[in-house]
Chains A and B, each alone.
Chain A
Amino acid sequence: MFGYVRPLIPELKVRELERFRAMYCGMCHELRRSYGPEARLILNYDFVFLAMLLSDGTAPNEYELRRCPVSPVKKRCVCKTCGSLTKSAGYSVILTYRKLCDTEKDGGFFERLGAAAAKAGLHGAYKKAASQWPEFDAGVTRGLGRLDALEKSGEASIDRPADTFAGLLSSACDDRVRRELMYHLGRVIYVADAWDDLEEDLKTGSYNPIVRRFGVTEAPASDEVREAVGRTLRLSASAMMADFELLPKTYWEPILRNIIFEGIPDMIEKILIGEWNTAEKPLKERYDERPV
């Protein structure tokens, strides 16, 4: 579910990559500062994207040099705390905690055990975040509850469960344009995750909207199903691009543009052919065999 929203690093300028890393580190420090060291474990790219999207204005962020436990030798350049980082960190705690609640209810035995343990670790952090952003917490609980009900009823549609998840994500924003953008991002994440989990869900018999919608019986799915899923993913990705053009330019615009116009399409194409998160390929296969 997490980790699909990334920049296409080869297409980033070096300074943009450095700024992105600083934001990523900034999120880690923000999680530790506000929610304790265990909260750092929930760090992911998706909420770094949200932090950049929520930020307003063209003024450059402020940076500072800090030490990192993961790479302790050299100090790293880290984004100083700011409104959008705080908000995004809080939202990520709430969403992760609520998702763990979900897994704790229905999942395999070891999954439930793991979820219960992780939930216990995050409990204090969650209480703090939920008290600061109660409407988001309420929205997430409602949305995940609706999603759960749809899944239990075996809903044979991609759009309806995707809509529930997408609506929950879009509630993280206040203005029309960002809400639309996050809605379609939610759709992309939900459908991509469903496609990625196809094989595993078929084995365990868990609910999968693609399986129900197209009557898939074996993985990998047929070319027709892949085409149909690809079309719906690309349409949502294109909607994200159209919506992004309506946002005023902010300091993070180039990186957001890379993620939306390059990162997401690259992820979609790779996921469809089953090459997402596979082992790193040699240079030739990574760059040279793609049409320029």
Chain B
Amino acid sequence: MNDPYSVLGVSPDASDADIKKAYRELARKYHPDNYAGNPLADLAEEKMKAINEAYDEVTKMRSSGQSYTQSRGASQDYRQDSSTGYAAVRAAISRGDLDTAESMLRGVSSPGAEWHYLMGLIAYKRGWFDEASRYFTTATSIDPYNEEYRRACDAVVRTDYPYRTSTYGTPVRSEPDFCDICTRLMCINLMCRCI
């Protein structure tokens, strides 16, 4: 197995707090929820597994006898119980066999909420986010109390970037006020000693 410290991206003499921080950041990055509906979710799951194992090994090495259990977040998406006979469709989607799943759905005569939800899931996995959002919205409008459809809808109507932590936000217009002017004068004073 790889060196657990390099998997976590820390040096072997990092403090326990640093290790925990590194672990948390990596776990947040590669958490299955971030890869829900992404065709590369299996790669993310492998990475998550490697990170969990590395963290377990490091904590075991550092403290004798202490065992650490971390909730292994597993993707819940496709385990929802389906009692309406769409189980085969869900299985096909889980396998990544989107064309088969879609052809199964096309044969349905009266599409209900779950039909729209599953069509949306297929579109989402293809990366067709516009169509996915239409299907999910229809599913929730037919069946507003279904948690599964609601969560899917929330995922596509978000207007932010889940990963981004930069300082650049949407361009904003604002008029300078006296605080700005005063602050700038003070800065000029400090730097140029000309006032």
Contact = CB atoms under 8 A, between A and B. Distances in A.
Interface residues of A, number: 44
Contact of A166 (B47, B127, B171, B173): B127
A262 B166 contact: yes
Contact of B30 (A234, A245, A290): A245
B164 A266 contact: no
Contact of B171 (A160, A177, A238, A273): A273
Interface stretch (A33-41, A49-57, A66-74, A224-232): A224-232
B71 to A, nearest CB: 21
Contacts of A290: 167-169, 171-172
Contacts of A22: none
B158 to A, nearest CB: 8
A243 B157 CA distance: 20
Chain B contact residues, majority secondary structure? loop
B156 A235 contact: yes
Given A159-B131, A163-B128, A236-B129, A289 B173 contact: yes
Interface in B129-188: 129-131, 133, 156-164, 166-174
A30 interface: no
Contacts of A291: 169, 172
B161 A231 contact: no
Contacts of B47: 246
A238 B172 CA distance: 22
Nearest to A187: B127
A144 to B, nearest CB: 19
A215 B39 CA distance: 32
A8 B166 CA distance: 11
B94 interface: no
Contacts of A237: 161
Nearest to B176: A284
B129 A235 contact: yes
B123 interface: yes
Bin the interface of chain B by size.
35 or more
Nearest to A288: B180
A159 B130 contact: yes
Contact of A213 (B30, B38, B130): B130
B144 to A, nearest CB: 20
B172 A163 contact: no
Residue among A180, A236, A246, A275 with most chain B CB within 10 A: A246
Contacts of B156: 231, 235
Contacts of A228: 130, 133
B40 A289 contact: no
B32 to A, nearest CB: 11
A113 B166 CA distance: 45
Interface string B38-60: 11100110010000000000000
B163 to A, nearest CB: 4
Given A159-B129, A239-B38, A266 B168 contact: yes
Contacts of B129: 159, 231-232, 235-236
A269 B169 CA distance: 9
A270 interface: yes
Nearest to A245: B29
B5 interface: no
Contacts of B106: none
A138 to B, nearest CB: 22
A63 interface: no
B163 A261 contact: yes
Given A157-B131, A261-B163, A242 B44 contact: yes
A234 B127 contact: no
B35 interface: yes
A59 interface: no
A186 to B, nearest CB: 9
B168 A177 contact: no
B24 interface: no
Interface string A130-167: 00000000000000000000000000011110110010
Given A163-B127, A176-B39, A238-B161, 12 more contacts: A8-B168, A160-B128, A176-B43, A180-B127, A232-B129, A234-B160, A246-B47, A262-B168, A265-B161, A265-B166, A270-B171, A289-B174
Q: Which 9 A-B pairs have the closest CB atoms?
A: A159-B128, A241-B163, A235-B129, A232-B130, A291-B169, A232-B129, A158-B130, A159-B131, A246-B43
Interface of B: 29-30, 34-35, 38-40, 43-44, 47, 123, 126-131, 133, 156-164, 166-174
